[in-house]
Amino acid sequence: MDRNKRKTILVIDNVTEDIEAALAILQDFNVLSCTSQEDALEMVRNQQTDLILLDMLMTDRDRICSALKKNPDTQNIPVIFMTANTDEKSIKKIYDVDGADYITKPFKPRQLIARVKIQLRLQEVLSKLDFISTRDTLTGMLNRKRFFELGKSMFSRSGRELYVLMIDIDHLKKINDQYGHDVGDIVLKKVAHVIKEILPPDAIFGRMGGEEFSVMYTAQTHERSMDIVSEILKTVSQARIPLNNGGSISCTISIGIGRKFSEFNTLDSLLKEADMTLYEAKESGRNTSIFRDR
């Protein structure tokens, strides 16, 4: 499949002739179009959008740009403005509203395609750099820094439905000593991916360091949260981790659980609660979870 066909471009213009001209030139891309602010924002919410072409004379131009920048899910979508005015004052307005680039009307096909491809390639590079800077290099899960960045935001907007798990792989040191650190790394990756598959879509999951992971998620009921924890414990303990000699090993984990009760008014205090219950889980024999109700 042509890589361009996987890229979605949204053209926003209240002049249908200009939309049709853009569509004719950008045939190698998946192109959507609309003529109003409401339709534009609705499309961006419901459709993965890689780039936006926005007419500079749209009356809702500034509101569209503002709405895009305020939403974490859309704030990094590059916007190329379409304009017939190339004087210095007009171009300054484009960059004042964080435009990534501009294209002149009437369109020059090669120029339009070139500018679109440049922005799409730039977004790919930025996306890769963001992934590298926010992920744990071994497991691919969030690193500690990114976990706290996202966790603070989730904490501030959530109530008692918020849960934090502190997870520790039981006796990883023994596995490293017996089988080697290469196998220990495989165990870390396997456990991380098993847990990831069980978590709800809104969960934040990161490696805190060593054999310790942390999870934040919301659950409509306490029973649902405990079901998630039970499923994690069960699935990890049943997973088989292959060895180079053809054999396999298994491992277990311990989980400490914290819930956002009123006494926990910061993310650090909630994490401390989960850390304390993790310690209790490990002291009680491991391969279990501990939750202290209030």
126-144 pLDDT, tens digit each:
999 998 999 999 999 999 9
Q: Is the pLDDT of residue 268 over 80?
A: yes
Would you state the pLDDT for residue 37? 86
Task: Note if 197 is an active site residue.
Answer: no
For residue 159 the two structure tokens come to: 């109530």
Cα dihedral: 176, 182, 187, 190 (round 10):
170
Q: Is the pLDDT of residue 256 over 80?
A: yes
Section 216-240 average pLDDT: 97
Section 32-47 average pLDDT: 91
In the chain, pLDDT over 90 holds for what percent of residues? 82
**Backbone phi, psi, residue 174, to 5°:** -65, -40
Q: 51 in helix, strand or coil? A: strand
Q: Is the pLDDT of residue 242 over 70?
A: yes
Q: 210 in helix, strand or coil? A: coil
Q: pLDDT tens digits for 141-198?
A: 999 999 999 999 999 999 999 999 999 999 999 999 999 999 999 999 999 999 999 9
Section 258-268 average pLDDT: 95
Domains of the chain: 3-133 (3.40.50.2300), 144-291 (3.30.70.270)
Section 87-109 average pLDDT: 92
- Residue 175 and residue 181: Cα distance in Å, rounded? 8
Would you state the pLDDT for residue 1? 45
Q: pLDDT tens digits for 190-222?
A: 999 999 999 999 899 999 999 999 999 999 999
Nearest to 169 by CA among 147, 184, 151: 184
Question: Which residue among the candidates 211, 263, 280, 283 is catalytic per the annotation?
Answer: 211
Q: Is the pLDDT of residue 100 over 60?
A: yes
What spatial distance separates the first Cα and last Cα of the chain, rounded to whole Å? 55
Section 245-260 average pLDDT: 95
Section 106-123 average pLDDT: 96
- Mean pLDDT rounded to a whole number for the chain: 94
Q: Is the pLDDT of residue 2 over 90?
A: no
Contacts with 267 (C-beta within 8 Å, 6 or more apart), sequence order: 148, 151, 152, 155
